[in-house]
Amino acid sequence: MPSVITKDGVEIFYKDWGPKDAPPIVFHHGWPLSSDDWDAQMLFFVQNGYRAVAHDRRGHGRSTQVSDGHDMDHYAADAFAVVEALDLRNAIHIGHSTGGGEVARYVARHGQPAGRVAKAVLVSAVPPLMLKTAANPGGLPIEIFDGFRAALAANRAQFFLDVPTGPFYGFNRPGATISQGVIENWWRQGMMGSAKAHYDGIKAFSETDQTEDLKAITVPTLVLHGEDDQIVPIDDAARLSITLLKNGTLKTYPGFSHGMLTVNAAVINPDLLAFIKA
């Protein structure tokens, strides 16, 4: 399997599809999933003439189940190891959920001004900060994330069924069209990864303040968010992020869930393509 070794010895699995001389798009997946979560986007963009690259975050998917380094700094550095190994330049970086935080940290720390990043997209992304604090009163209470940790530690397999069956794709909403395949694919991806990485990752996605990352980004950045996102509520995420970005565009989707990239790919993919081509 194609992989790179990071400076601290972690093997990071990646996919590299499409012509090597085509414009590259780098995809950064959400918690607790893998690069497989981008199937609908990677196939779409390869068919539209792009090079699609996606990696499994450390401790996730087919990458090494290492004990440490489950934080935004390491996530971004691991992504850079892939980009550097493939020598990707003027790439578009697209991140979903925790992957959106990874993109923000990556662009702020590794993408400017070296010419590595052309544009960025944050989809249902966790920045600037999910946790409720005195400075972020609209955030979610720590008890919610403590509950995630408790459920994961007690019965990860059941927890990883409950999330996609319920709020992640909005399958708990009246009249929702439920896909058992989507639920089981979410579970499959999650259970491939490390419980330790997933447990530590909850702190990474909920408690990392990325205000300064967003302020540091100068490339054109598209922020996409579902208005019925029950995992990362839009008001304290996308609607705050857009006020911090120097060159940002916000597009929201009434009724769309946190998992809209999968269940609403027919709507989201053309919007991504239009932004990339602009």
- At residue 112, the pLDDT reads 74
Distance between CA atoms of 171 and 163, rounded to whole angstroms? Answer: 10
Statement: residue 113 has pLDDT above 80: no
Residues contacting residue 260 through CB under 8 Å, at least 6 positions apart: 123, 124, 226, 253, 267, 268
pLDDT band at 212 (very low <50, low <70, confident <90, very high): very high
Q: Which residues are known catalytic residues?
A: 97, 229, 258
Name residue 56's amino acid: D
| First-last CA distance in the chain | 34
Q: What is the pLDDT of residue 204?
A: 98
pLDDT at 66 > cutoff 80: yes
Per the structure, the count of domains in the chain is 1
- What pLDDT is attached to residue 131? 98
Alpha-carbon span 214 to 221, nearest angstrom: 10
Q: Which residues span the domain enclosing 12?
A: 3-277
pLDDT in tens, 84-96: 999 999 999 999 9
Q: Which residue has the tokens 């909850």?
A: 202
Kindly tell me if the per-residue pLDDT of 235 is higher than 80.
yes
Torsion of CA 258, 210, 57, 247, to 10 degrees: 70
| Span 1-26, average pLDDT | 97
Give the model confidence (pLDDT) of 138-155 as tens digits.
Answer: 999 999 999 999 999 999
Looking at residue 114, its pLDDT comes to 77
What is the reported pLDDT for 111?
A: 83
pLDDT at 4: 98
Q: pTM of this prediction?
A: 0.98
The CATH number for 133's domain is 3.40.50.1820
Task: Give residue 230's Cα distance to chain centre.
Answer: 16
Q: What is the pLDDT of residue 115?
A: 83
CB 253 within 8 A of CB 227: yes
pLDDT attached to residue 188: 98
- Phi–psi pair at 98, nearest 5 degrees: -60, -35
DSSP-derived secondary structure for 234-246:
GGGTHHHHHHH-T
Give residue 266's pLDDT band: very low, low, confident or very high (50, 70, 90). Answer: very high
